[in-house]
A = this chain, B = another copy of it.
């Protein structure tokens, strides 16, 4: 894939890049629009969505682990987790091996919300993928991955792995 086969390797004018920047801006808004609507009705915010999403991906994850993935402070995350636990969407279990740790799980209710949010977001993603075609999707993913910070790319790849 790293072989450009000549072609127009260099069409990286500032104008092209600016368009990419704006596309990213508008697309991200579309990307979050559907979940945001659902969240609003429950008086939750995007922060709750992120927490629920990653707890679902990695059941039993610790608070500290989640902190690294989300890139926020523990105070900030804790505020969100507190409401999710109080509302019975997330369960926090004291670690067996290390009792200082809290392992986080979605309850059935939590899974239901996650599914609802996920479905909405996937629907848009699926529509976009269909419209653009498989090859475009491969390119899309490559550029996104190249755009991440190195340490985030590690997190991202860790989440993609089948299982350890």
Contact = CB atoms under 8 A, between A and B. Distances in A.
Interface of A: 1-12, 14, 17-31, 33, 50, 53, 57, 71, 118, 121-122, 124-149, 152-153, 155-156, 159-160
Given A4-B138, A27-B145, 16 more contacts: A1-B136, A4-B133, A11-B134, A17-B126, A19-B160, A20-B129, A20-B140, A22-B57, A24-B28, A24-B31, A27-B147, A30-B148, A31-B147, A128-B146, A132-B146, A138-B139
B155 A143 contact: no
B147 A12 contact: no
A144 B1 contact: no
Q: How many copies does the complex hold?
A: 2
B148 A21 contact: no
A26 B148 contact: yes
A58 B3 CA distance: 22
A139 B146 contact: no
Contact of A2 (B21, B127, B133, B156): B133
